[in-house]
Structure 1
Amino acid sequence: MEPIAPSGRQLELTHGDSAVTIVEVGGGLRDYRVDGVAVLDGYPVDAMAPHSAGQLLVPWPNRIAGGRYPWNGKTQQLAISEAKTGNASHGLARWSAWELERTGPAAATASFVVRAQSGYPFTVAFGAAYALGDDGLTVTMTATNLSAGPAPVGMGAHPYLLVPGAGGTPVRADDVTLTLPAERMLLVDDRLIPTESQDVAGGPFDFLAARPIGPLVIDHCFAAPRRDPDGRARVVLAAPAGGGSVTVWMDEAWDYIQVFTGDTLSPDERRRSIAVEPQTCPANAFNSGEGLRVLEPGESFGGSWGISPVP
């Protein structure tokens, strides 16, 4: 019997000089290249997804404090999946086999049903439609409540982006010019749970106008995004003159943006790439209610986000 890759079945989408690899485990992104130059800080086929790289985060993104939240007068207790903080992190579907279906040379879908279980007694179907085109990669995510009663739902994604410098070699986070059109950021406690928010204007995390990241450590959730006339918010990562850029855009479904410069990773990974994570709600939304969607039986919601590289 042939060994099975840790990330399961691989499905490659191609369009022109672009190629994207979708994986069965987690239904997420493993690789994205344009003319052979990596856009994603992905991982090889014989490895597990490190640090949530490329994964889809459902039925919640980020963390739930202590894995506990109230629902209908009872306290629900999720398994603790982040031992360091004692939290439940990044949902319930990252390590499960999603169903992949190719819908064209440059298009595919990934689908998975989160079944009712201890700590999350709801049945919710999730889907991600991937499409690779002239303007890059578009990912349309949906959630549908299959339960007999209301269900709390959040969604997110966790791509790490490489910014191509001159000659295609990625530049480090310090040398990236960041445009982040979000007016607020969430402050967190020592368990990385939000406690309050503050305006970014005039502070060290004000990237409303493009400026270099420099040595700034970023591992924060930003909110109140400014949107362009088409309804999209755009986070732009640009290399110095002579290099390229990568834009992560998101429509109105995604009101929160987690940005992470990778400072807690291993020395060879630290600040090598930047995670830009579209989220429909912030950390601990099952407790705070901020941005949380409570779907009625049969109700769906969703939205699109995407990655547009410019070599």
Structure 2
Amino acid sequence: MTNAQTTLTAGKAAVTVDQENGCRLSSLRIDGTELLRQGPKYGSFPMVPWCGRIAYGRFRNGGETHQMPLNHLPHPHALHGTGRDTAWRVSRVEDSFAAFTYDLAAPWPYPGRVTQLVELAEDSLTLTMGVEAASDSFPAQAGWHPWFLRNLGTGRDVELDFAPAWQEERGDDHLPTGRRIDPLPGPWDDCFGMPDGVAVTLTWPGALELKVTSRAEWVVVYDEQDEAVCVEPQSGPPNGLNTMPRLVTPIDPLEISTTWSWRSLA
């Protein structure tokens, strides 16, 4: 571990976790090829204790209304949680496994703890996240926001393949309207329902195939930038703290995992 980053290796795979910068994966290299967009805002970061957007930064828990900072001005909503903006602690490191934690704190109004496990194998990476309540229950979400490079420099752009059951209709305010519609062609900045679990295949023709899977039932796909595409498994839809609250209690933590598995096409 150097420069507050943790690097795990397994065979020809290596992943680096920048625990000081939101516990994001700053690098994932397969046989020397980088898969993630580089830069302090990119890589792959955990979204917690919410995913995507909270409408105008406000959510309710029982009779209480809470205001989260609008953290992507001039965007009018609160984006992607607070976990990506804080330093995490290393609690355990082995050659191909590491565990990280951080304690929920202001501006999030409820005490609790978040854990992220990173487990690397020669042909896969498994990420697991847990959210625990210290006392009062609260609504929460968790997921990941990877920025996969659109082109690996070895051939054609990446191709996406997935078969969602529906697409969340997106309003002019970029929030789901509550209507489920038949999936539309891209480009996307949209949430899709996959009730049998997230399953998305990214193929860089002639280079690599990578499958993103999760028992979670929601995935956001964002491919409106030239440099990268995002495939984001998450525990609920955008604005879900308000529309589909999942309460975390001291005896019922929120847990979610995703596995990225790959094979060479070279």
TM-score, normalization by structure 2: 0.90
Partner Cα distance (2:12, 2:161) in 1: 26
Per the TM alignment, residue 39 of structure 1 is displaced from its structure 2 partner at its CA by: 1.8
Task: Give 2:128's aligned residue.
Answer: 140
Q: Check whether the contact 2:132–2:249 (CA below 8 A) recurs between aligned residues.
A: no
Task: Give 1:267's aligned residue.
Answer: none
Partner Cα distance (1:250, 1:170) in 2: 28
Secondary structure at the residue paired with 1:182? coil
Amino acid of the structure 1 residue aligned with 2:94: G
Task: Give 1:257's aligned residue.
Answer: 219
Amino acid of the structure 2 residue aligned with 1:126: V
Q: Assess, with a 3 A threshold, how the Cα gap between structure 1 residues 39 and 275 changes in structure 2: closer, same or farther.
A: same
Runs of 4+ off more than 4 Å: none
Task: Give 1:34's aligned residue.
Answer: 30
Pairwise CA RMSD:
2.1
Partner Cα distance (1:198, 1:273) in 2: 27
TM-score, normalization by structure 1: 0.78
Q: Structure 2 matches for 1:115-264, cutoff 5 A? A: 115=105, 117-118=106-107, 120-147=108-135, 149-162=136-149, 169=154, 171-172=156-157, 176-200=158-182, 204-205=184-185, 216-227=186-197, 233-240=198-205, 242-251=206-215, 254-261=216-223, 263=224
Partner Cα distance (1:164, 1:306) in 2: 21
Secondary structure at the residue paired with 2:84? coil
Amino acid of the structure 1 residue aligned with 2:171: D
Per the TM alignment, residue 102 of structure 1 is displaced from its structure 2 partner at its CA by: 4.0
| 2:249 pairs with 1:284 | no
Partner Cα distance (2:252, 2:180) in 1: 33
Partner Cα distance (1:170, 1:11) in 2: 30
| 2:227 pairs with 1:272 | yes
Q: Check whether the contact 1:137–1:307 (CA below 8 A) recurs between aligned residues.
A: yes
Partner Cα distance (1:170, 1:101) in 2: 40
Partner Cα distance (1:185, 1:122) in 2: 32
Amino acid of the structure 2 residue aligned with 1:69: F
| 2:15 pairs with 1:15 | no
Q: Check whether the contact 1:163–1:238 (CA below 8 A) recurs between aligned residues.
A: no
Q: Matched residues, percent identical? A: 28
Partner Cα distance (1:103, 1:75) in 2: 39
Secondary structure at the residue paired with 1:61? coil
Per the TM alignment, residue 164 of structure 1 is displaced from its structure 2 partner at its CA by: 6.3
Q: Check whether the contact 1:132–1:138 (CA below 8 A) recurs between aligned residues.
A: yes
Per the TM alignment, residue 80 of structure 1 is displaced from its structure 2 partner at its CA by: 1.1
Q: Check whether the contact 1:171–1:272 (CA below 8 A) recurs between aligned residues.
A: no
Partner Cα distance (1:178, 1:247) in 2: 10
Partner Cα distance (1:58, 1:16) in 2: 30
User: 1 or 2, which has the higher strand percentage?
Assistant: 2
Per the TM alignment, residue 163 of structure 1 is displaced from its structure 2 partner at its CA by: 6.0
Q: Check whether the contact 1:64–1:286 (CA below 8 A) recurs between aligned residues.
A: yes
Per the TM alignment, residue 85 of structure 1 is displaced from its structure 2 partner at its CA by: 2.5
Per the TM alignment, residue 187 of structure 1 is displaced from its structure 2 partner at its CA by: 1.5
Amino acid of the structure 2 residue aligned with 1:153: A
Q: Check whether the contact 1:107–1:131 (CA below 8 A) recurs between aligned residues.
A: yes
Q: Check whether the contact 2:150–2:226 (CA below 8 A) recurs between aligned residues.
A: no
Per the TM alignment, residue 243 of structure 1 is displaced from its structure 2 partner at its CA by: 3.1
Q: Assess, with a 3 A threshold, how the Cα gap between structure 1 residues 170 and 248 changes in structure 2: closer, same or farther.
A: farther
Deviations 1:92-122 (A, max 9, x none): 121111012443101101111112x35x321
Partner Cα distance (1:170, 1:28) in 2: 27
Per the TM alignment, residue 70 of structure 1 is displaced from its structure 2 partner at its CA by: 2.2
Q: Which ranges of structure 1 fall in alignment gaps of 5 or more residues?
A: 206-215, 228-232, 264-269
Secondary structure at the residue paired with 1:287? helix
Amino acid of the structure 1 residue aligned with 2:118: Y
Amino acid of the structure 2 residue aligned with 1:247: K
Partner Cα distance (2:176, 2:243) in 1: 9
Q: Check whether the contact 1:158–1:276 (CA below 8 A) recurs between aligned residues.
A: yes
Q: Give the greater-gyration-radius structure (CA).
A: 1
Secondary structure at the residue paired with 1:307? strand
Q: Structure 2 matches for 1:40-119, cutoff 5 A? A: 40-43=36-39, 48-50=40-42, 53-115=43-105, 117-118=106-107
